Every structure is written in structure tokens, then in C-alpha cells.
Amino acid sequence: MQVVSELTDTSRLCLHTITTKPWPLEIAVEKYAAAGVHGITVWRQWLEGKSLEKSRRLISDAGLQVVSLCRGGFFPSANAGKRQEAIAENLRALDEAAAIGAPWVVLVCGADPSQSLIDSRQQIFDGISACLEQAQKLGVKLAIEPLHPMYAGDRSAINTMKQANDLCELIDHPFLGVAVDVYHVWWDPDLQKEIERCGRAGRLLAFHICDWHLPVEDLLNDRGLMGEGCINIRQIRGWVEQTGFTGFNEVEIFSNRWWKTDMDEFLAAILAAYRRHS
Amino acid sequence: MQVVSELTDTSRLCLHTITTKPWPLEIAVEKYAAAGVHGITVWRQWLEGKSLEKSRRLISDAGLQVVSLCRGGFFPSANAGKRQEAIAENLRALDEAAAIGAPWVVLVCGADPSQSLIDSRQQIFDGISACLEQAQKLGVKLAIEPLHPMYAGDRSAINTMKQANDLCELIDHPFLGVAVDVYHVWWDPDLQKEIERCGRAGRLLAFHICDWHLPVEDLLNDRGLMGEGCINIRQIRGWVEQTGFTGFNEVEIFSNRWWKTDMDEFLAAILAAYRRHS
């Protein structure tokens, strides 16, 4: 029988700043901390135009732990100059992560629809490889997040856990791992097996939750709150925890529907859904 | 080096009646034949309220070959009564296919978001198994069409060629095969391998083409015309033909965008795109 820990408290709850998109960093940090949220995954836009040191202190003074920095990646391009720019941008993301105390940068690996997936995948390999020396130097990992196959055209040519695991094995670097997001991988018949494989290799860094809400009105920004959709989050969390994962459950919801509502109410709904449906 | 046949003529071109949605069967048949299209895949709605024998004659008198009947499937439901109804509906589809001379019924296997994918997959197994005796008796096959993972919530729990092949092996019946649609499978890193496996087993029945047009505005009805998107149709067709496939290239495009245009112009655009981008 599968053992899943009960989420009786919020000690392992993390929110992505994008989830409460209307809130700038200061408000998000204050509200999360007041609600008992313990972790924060910071999206880079939330750091723009601010002192990184001040942002780091703001977060740690509130008692929040920085779980990850979102996001790097977007390596592939048919244009070689743009590929170099992407690598430079990822190096900057690593610097930012180090500055705010994020243990890894989550990678949306990217895809260029003007070229083949094979080419895009090779360029992802090259791009990640080019960043790992600096990653190790800074003590910041890179976390490949496989994206749902519906994003293979323009956002990521890495679309399954198997691909992410294969890529990690191929590159074989201690500062490379994987971020598992239920939204992207829930449908995959090989999911349990590949989560086990990822964990066994010591590469399962992060776990993102939300739900697959039907009908999907928008490819990008129509994610559901946990319990609003058909993903068996608890089962997947069980598979993740069976590998020894004790990290945060990160709530990452892009939702035009929820972003239109009052964010305090949304935060309360997240807390309730976290206990009930995660 | 990969050998792909050149599409210098329309002898292997088939259209799905849904592609030219505004045209009823009589018009579609007349227009397809006049354009030199040789095959027609009939969607069941186009047969409603008509004599099947008359429809069969209409199509064959025009010199068109019925390539398949679309569509059966939709087997899973948490409600046992509905599962029985689905099987009865599929048996009716088999009767219709036999009546119009379609060699197989294409299956959109179905999914019920109120239950697990494992349950839905078991019910697909059960539903297909329940139809195969009648299929063999009528001489009509069932073709499992794996659907893109973005439909795993509500339209099909069979989302990759590997799953379709596995299911065929498990059921192991001479009247069960697979329909490959580039829209659903183009992203899959195992695609070539699984197409080979399908062909080797003698199960590759049908090949559907269209394109992945960006951005995807609508999950269901925003398919692109060949050449409008990022699918390497020619490469996939090469893999399919290397298995010995000599069947039709079936153009199946659901597109709110194209359906708003003049259907004669759309048909002309399909013919041009077929030669240039397929």
C-alpha cells in the first residue's frame, strides 16, 4: 500500500510569486508569511529593478525560505547569436539565484518552431552544458522542468520525465536535476517509473502542484487550483515522497480566472485546497 | 538516407468530411471528386438521417474510396450503464462502416475525468474487446487513434503510439490496429521507434495529416493546414512508409479559422499544401 504523508500543516507549502500575480514581492512576502506559508519560489520579474540583497533580506526576515528561482532556459534558437544570448541570460539567472539564496534555477528549456525538435534538444543539451561550471561555482543547481507536450512547439522540447531523466544521465553533472510539475506530467503512463528513476539518481529537486481544469480555455493561463481538476495529486506526491523527497510542495498556478479574483481570497482558497486535495 | 515518396499526384489523398465542415456529404463528394481527391473518410454525422446504401453508392459512383469511418470509441465512464451504451454505439458504428464499405472505424478512445486514467484505460480495453467479435464478423477493423496528451482529461486516455501499440499487443486481435495522426504524436521522442513497431506488427492502418499551428488558440479547433505549423510531416510520412504503408494520406483539419473561409478556396489550399508540405 502506498504511504502518503498527510498535509496537516503548511510547513512544506511554497507559493510561486506568479501564482499571486497581482502582488509585488513585498506584498507577496508579507501575505505568505502571515498565512503560514513557509516557502517562496521567486519569479525573476519580481526581482527586476530591486536590490537583490534587499530582496533576499526581505524574504528571510519574514521567515520564508527561497525554494527556487523561476526561470531560466529558453536555450534553442535557429540563430546562433540568440543561443549565446540565452546562455548569458541563464548565467545571470544563476547569479540572481545565488544572491537571493535559491538552491536552483528552474529551466523551461525552450523550443524553436522553425527548426526540428532534434535540433532544439541538441541546443538544450549544449546550453545547459555551457552553464554548469558556473552553476557549480555558485553552488546553484539547474532543474530541468519537463513541460506538457502541448508546449513542444514553442516553449519546451523536453516534454516527459523520461526525456528529462535521459538528458540528466547524458550530461551527468551533480548540479543538474529535475523539477516535477503535475500539470505537465500527470497523463504519462510512465510517470511513476520515471519519478522513481529520477529520485534514485538523486535528481528530484522540486515538486510543483496545481490541477488540470476542464475545459482548458487557454493553453497557458487556465490552470486549476488543486481539487478543481482531474489530476490525482496525492498519488503523484506519494510517488515523489517514496523516493525520499522531503522538499516543498510548490503551488504554481497560472490562471486568468483566479488572477481576476481578490488575491487574499485566492490565498485562503489555496490553503484550504492544499490540505484537502494535495 | 530516408526515402520518402514524392506526392506528385492526388492518388493517395483523402479528406475527412469534417475538414470541409460546412459541406454536406453530397457537396463534399462532388467537390472532392472534381478536385481529384481519391479517398474520403466519412464522419458519422454526415450519414445521419440518410440511407446508408444511398450514401455508399453516392461515394462509389463519384469514384471515391471510403478510407475510414470516424469515429467510435468514448468507452470510459464511471457509470456502468454508460459504458454499455458506448459499446452498443460502437457496434452501430461497425454496422455503418460495413454498410458504406469502410474498412475500419477510427476510435477516439475516451476518458472520464471523474476517475483515474488507469480505470479509463481498463475500460477502453474492455470496450474494444467487447466489439471485436462483431468487427471480425463484419470484416471491419477498429483503429485506435492515440490522442495528444492535452486530451487526456476528457477525450482519450490513450495518448502515445507506445500506449496504442501496447494495447494492441495486449488484446492481440487481427481486427485491431492503429491510426497515426501527426497532430497528436509529432512531439514524441519515441515516435519513429513506435511507428516501426506498429508497422512491423501489421497494425498501422491509417495516417492523418495536418499541422501544429502556433499559437494554439483553441485546444480542439485550431489545427493548421500542412505547412502552417512546425510538424515535419514529410519525415513522419517517411517513417510510416518505411513500414510498408501504402495507404492514404488523410487530411483531417479542425479549424474555426479555415471553416470561416470559402470552402472551395480551402480545398484549393489543401491541394497545394498537400504537394508542397506533406
Per-residue pLDDT tens for B173-218? 999 999 999 999 999 999 999 999 999 999 999 999 999 999 999 9
Cis amide bond preceding B215, omega within 30: yes
Q: Which residues of B194-218 are buried (b: 16+ CB within 10 A; e: fewer)?
A: bbbbbbeeebbbbbbbbbbbeebee
Provide DSSP, A116-138. Answer: -HHHHHHHHHHHHHHHHHHHHHH
Whether residue A149 and residue B150 make contact (CB cut-off 8 A), yes or no, is yes
- Tell me the chain A residues in contact with residue B230 when contact means C-beta distances shorter than 8 Å: 113-114, 153
Per-residue model confidence (pLDDT) at position B3 = 60
The distance in angstroms from the start CA to the end CA of chain A is: 18
d(CA A120, CA A157): 6
Is A138 a residue whose pLDDT tops 90?
Answer: yes
Handedness of CA A55, A60, A61, A63 (dihedral sign): positive
* Nearest Cα to Cα of residue B211 among B119, B278, B156: B278
CB pairs under 8 A between A and B: 67
- Domain B13-277: assigned CATH number: 3.20.20.150
C-alpha cell at A71: 526561470
* Nearest Cα to Cα of residue A107 among A30, A48, A184, A53: A184
The distance in angstroms from the start CA to the end CA of chain B is: 18
A163 touches chain B (CB under 8 A): yes
Strand partners, B241: none
Per-residue model confidence (pLDDT) at position B82 = 98
d(CA B262, CA A17): 46
B216 touches chain A (CB under 8 A): yes
Provide the Cα torsion A154, A156, A157, A159; round to 10°.
-130
- Tell me the chain A residues in contact with residue B163 when contact means C-beta distances shorter than 8 Å: 189
Whether residue A216 and residue B186 make contact (CB cut-off 8 A), yes or no, is no
d(CA A182, CA A231): 7
To the nearest whole Å, the CA of A163 is away from the closest chain B CA by 8
AA letter at B78: A
pTM for the complete prediction? 0.96
**Smallest Cβ distance to A153: which of B114, B117, B230?**
B230
- Tell me the chain A residues in contact with residue B117 when contact means C-beta distances shorter than 8 Å: 187, 189
Whether residue A149 and residue B148 make contact (CB cut-off 8 A), yes or no, is yes
Per-residue pLDDT tens for A95-118? 999 999 999 999 999 999 999 999
Look at the block and give the residue holding cell 490525482.
Answer: A232
Geometric angle at alpha carbon A223, from A17 and B79, rounded to 5°: 150
Residues of chain A numbered 123-152 and touching chain B (CB < 8 Å): 148-150, 152
To the nearest whole Å, the CA of B84 is away from the closest chain A CA by 23
Length of chain A: 278
Instruction: Please compute the mean of the pLDDT values over residues A69-97 and round it to a whole number.
Output: 98
To the nearest whole Å, the CA of A229 is away from the closest chain B CA by 8
Length of chain B: 278
Nearest residue of A to residue B185, measured between CA atoms: A149
- Tell me the chain A residues in contact with residue B189 when contact means C-beta distances shorter than 8 Å: 117, 121, 159-160, 162-163
Whether residue A116 and residue B232 make contact (CB cut-off 8 A), yes or no, is yes
d(CA B58, CA A86): 58
**Smallest Cβ distance to B116: which of A114, A162, A232?**
A232
Per-residue model confidence (pLDDT) at position A215 = 95
d(CA A41, CA B221): 35
- Tell me the chain B residues in contact with residue A159 when contact means C-beta distances shorter than 8 Å: 187, 189
Please list, in sequence order, all residues whose beta carbon lies within 8 angstroms of the beta carbon of residue B261, skipping any fewer than 6 positions away. none
Q: Which of B181, B219, B236 to mutate to test the interface with A (most CBs of A within 10 A)?
A: B219
A49 touches chain B (CB under 8 A): no
- Tell me the chain B residues in contact with residue A113 when contact means C-beta distances shorter than 8 Å: 214, 229-230
Per-residue model confidence (pLDDT) at position B2 = 55
Look at the block and give the residue holding cell 535557429.
Answer: A78
Instruction: Please compute the mean of the pLDDT values over residues A137-153 and round it to a whole number.
Output: 98
Q: Which residues of B80-110 are buried (b: 16+ CB within 10 A; e: fewer)?
A: eeebeebbebbbebbebbbbbbbbbbbbbbb
Strands (E), A63-140: 65-73, 104-108
- Tell me the chain A residues in contact with residue B212 when contact means C-beta distances shorter than 8 Å: 152-153
DSSP class of residue B44? G
B2 touches chain A (CB under 8 A): no
C-alpha cell at B92: 452501430
To the nearest whole Å, the CA of B119 is away from the closest chain A CA by 12
Whether residue B219 and residue A216 make contact (CB cut-off 8 A), yes or no, is yes
B212 touches chain A (CB under 8 A): yes
Task: Give the residue extent of every domain in chain A.
Answer: 13-277
Is A125 a residue whose pLDDT tops 80?
Answer: yes
**Smallest Cβ distance to B113: which of A154, A162, A230?**
A230
d(CA B195, CA B182): 11
Whether residue B216 and residue A150 make contact (CB cut-off 8 A), yes or no, is yes
d(CA A63, CA B237): 57
Residue A169: CB atoms within 10 A of its CB come to 12
Name the H helices within B21-104: 25-35, 52-61, 80-100
CB-based burial of residue A127 (10 Å sphere; 0-12 exposed, 13-18 middle, 19+ buried)?
buried
B78 touches chain A (CB under 8 A): no
Helix or strand holding residue A205 (H, E): strand A204-209
Per-residue model confidence (pLDDT) at position B1 = 44
Q: What is the complex's ipTM, to 2 decimals?
A: 0.94
Contact B238, B4 (CB under 8 A): yes
Instruction: Please compute the mean of the pLDDT values over residues A206-210 and round it to a whole number.
Output: 98
Please give the radius of gyration of chain A, using alpha carbons only, rounded to the nearest integer: 18
Contact B211, B181 (CB under 8 A): no
Please list, in sequence order, all residues whose beta carbon lies within 8 angstroms of the beta carbon of residue B111, skipping any fewer than 6 positions away. B76, B117, B120, B151, B152, B153, B154, B155, B156, B157
To the nearest whole Å, the CA of B114 is away from the closest chain A CA by 7
To the nearest whole Å, the CA of A151 is away from the closest chain B CA by 9
Is A2 a residue whose pLDDT tops 60?
Answer: no
Nearest residue of A to residue B121, measured between CA atoms: A189
Per-residue pLDDT tens for B118-142? 999 999 999 999 999 999 999 999 9
C-alpha cell at A83: 543561443
d(CA B131, CA B134): 6
Nearest residue of B to residue A162, measured between CA atoms: B189
B113 touches chain A (CB under 8 A): yes
Helix or strand holding residue A60 (H, E): helix A52-61
Whether residue B153 and residue A116 make contact (CB cut-off 8 A), yes or no, is no
Per-residue pLDDT tens for A166-197? 999 999 999 999 999 999 999 999 999 999 99
To the nearest whole Å, the CA of A56 is away from the closest chain B CA by 37
Q: Is B241 left (phi over 0), alpha (psi -120 to 50) or beta?
A: alpha
pLDDT lower than 70: segments of chain B: 1-3
What does pLDDT average to over chain B?
A: 97
Per-residue model confidence (pLDDT) at position A154 = 96
Helix or strand holding residue B152 (H, E): none
Q: How confident is the model at residue A9 (pLDDT cuts 50, 70, 90)?
A: confident
